[in-house]
Amino acid sequence: MNDPESIRAVWDLPELRGLWERARQALEAADRPATFRLELPDERTRQKVGEVYGRPMWGQGTRINVSKLDESLRAGEHGVDLERLLEILHERPITRQESGSRRRGGEQDRTVGVLHAALSEHGLAEQPWAAAWTDWVRQYGRVADSDLDAIAEHAAAVLARLVLDPDRQPRGWWSRTELAARCAGSEYELDNGTTLSRVVLRAASMAHGTDSPGGERDRRNLWERCGVTPDGISVTVPCWALPLAGQDTWSSTVRERTELGLPTHLTLLDLRAAPEPLVEPGTVIAVCQSARTLEAAVAAGVRHPVVCLSGRPGTVALELLDRLRADGAVLRLHCDFDWTGLSVAGALYERPGFVPWRMSAADYRETVNRAAARRTDLRILDENPTEAPWDPELPEVMSSAGRAVEEEIVLDDLLHDLRNGLDGAVS
């Protein structure tokens, strides 16, 4: 039944009232935000909000995407949309405030018309952030009228290539210069300080529900969330002994470094110049989280291929791993036994081609017990647990033991597997 009483019985709960109040504020705002921040003060609230939103909640707060919340409600048992639900719960309709420009007569000036037309051409005009962004450009974007048509066209072309859904991870990467050259005809048009960069980053921040970037680090982080690396050379991925299939100069250069006992730090420009395919189907490649693991393999003269994530995988690492997966490689993944390590492993495990390597609850128990016997210090494991979809028991075991196991602690085990091949290595 979708009558008001049955809906109130299901959704009018103390734990959800904060969610409904914040959702109403978002829907009634003059420029409806795409997301809003929601506090999660206790486990009961996290559980109930997670059930509504369709994913587990962790920590003391989260960012809620308004469109996704609406979709989750529509797909639920009662099939009610967000506006109708709030009207029933609060017993009053949604009343959207008018922005200053609309109160002054709702005029559609040239700026709004040009921007809307450019967004429409790329299928972006109905995105949740589009109206607010258009108003911002009109009022604060500082776009000269003589530049408006070109800026609108170039900005829409750039935005159409960005990842603007905060719940989606980039699957491919642009360098900022590539993107500028493709969409604006000049590799310099998205450099810091340009008009195009300013308006594009504002749209990206609105789409992701973040503040406008205030410095270089914030700009880099926002670009990367959108699938863009700020340049093609500063970010690298360390590799060792990649068994490249090509007989070209690029492949020969990488192989020569292996013969010299040197790892290779590949950049995005390197990957753009690399041949297809990189490796033969079925090639088994070790993927580690710590540079110490790759360094140990080099020092030991182990010729098994290794790719290092250097903590959290950056843009170039993800690009390389996607290329290897597309070639049919098998990626044996090992990360630290801490919550960051499980988060990294979990995100990669969702992609086909990744197989855990010594990442089970049994592996963790064995290592902790061995460390205790040898009186090896293990860092205290704190913060909130992270799921491990390849072994659901693992987070519980780690929480119980309360100790983190970094890759350096198990170097001997990892090197043993690399020497003997990972085809039969334990998972």
Is it the case that residue 78 has pLDDT exceeding 90?
no
Would you state the pLDDT for residue 99? Answer: 52
pLDDT classification of 231: cutoffs 50, 70, 90 = confident
Q: What is the mean pLDDT of residues 282-299?
A: 97
Max distance between CA atoms of the chain, in angstroms, equals 77
Would you state the pLDDT for residue 108? Answer: 45
DSSP for 48-76, please give it: HHHHHHTS---SSEEEEEHHHHHHHHHHS
Q: What is the mean pLDDT of residues 194-207?
A: 94
Number of neighbours of residue 152 by Cβ within 10 angstroms: 23
Would you state the pLDDT for residue 394? Answer: 97
- 236-420 classified as CATH 1.25.40: no
Is it the case that residue 1 has pLDDT exceeding 70?
no
Q: Which residues contact 74 (CB under 8 A, 6 or more apart)?
A: 80, 81
Domain positions in the chain are: 4-90, 107-229, 236-420
pTM beyond 0.85: no
Number of neighbours of residue 32 by Cβ within 10 angstroms: 16
pLDDT classification of 419: cutoffs 50, 70, 90 = very high
Dist. CA 385–CA 373, nearest whole Å = 26
Would you state the pLDDT for residue 107? Answer: 35
Specify the range with the lowest mean pLDDT, choosing from 102-111, 226-235, 361-370. 102-111
pLDDT classification of 2: cutoffs 50, 70, 90 = low
Q: Which residues contact 323 (CB under 8 A, 6 or more apart)?
A: 271, 274, 278
Number of neighbours of residue 416 by Cβ within 10 angstroms: 12
Is it the case that residue 106 has pLDDT exceeding 80?
no
Would you state the pLDDT for residue 269? Answer: 92
List pLDDT tens digits, range 243-270. Answer: 999 999 999 999 999 999 999 999 999 9
Would you state the pLDDT for residue 219? Answer: 92
Would you state the pLDDT for residue 321? Answer: 95
List pLDDT tens digits, range 133-173. Answer: 998 998 888 898 889 999 999 999 999 999 999 888 887 78
Q: b/e string for 120-134 if b means 16 or more Cβ within 10 A?
A: eeeebbebbbbbbbb
Would you state the pLDDT for residue 399? Answer: 95
Q: What is the mean pLDDT of residues 184-190?
A: 93
Which residues face 355 on adjacent strands? 332
Q: Are 415 and 300 in contact (CB under 8 A)?
A: yes
Would you state the pLDDT for residue 308? Answer: 97
Is it the case that residue 354 has pLDDT exceeding 60?
yes
Dist. CA 242–CA 228, nearest whole Å = 26
Specify the range with the lowest mean pLDDT, choosing from 15-19, 94-98, 280-284, 292-296. 94-98
Dist. CA 418–CA 285, nearest whole Å = 10
* Spatial CA neighbour of 342 closest among 383, 306, 376: 383
Number of neighbours of residue 4 by Cβ within 10 angstroms: 15
Dist. CA 64–CA 59, nearest whole Å = 14
Q: Are 127 and 133 in contact (CB under 8 A)?
A: no
Would you state the pLDDT for residue 101? Answer: 45
Would you state the pLDDT for residue 60? Answer: 78
Map tokens 């909000």 to a residue. Answer: 49
213 secondary structure, DSSP code: P
How far apart, in Å, are the Cα atoms of 240 and each of 247, 283, 299, 323, 341?
18, 14, 11, 16, 21
Q: Of 61-65, 76-80, 300-304, which has the strongest mean pLDDT?
A: 300-304
pLDDT classification of 212: cutoffs 50, 70, 90 = confident
Please indicate whether residue 284 or residue 95 has the higher confidence score (pLDDT): 284
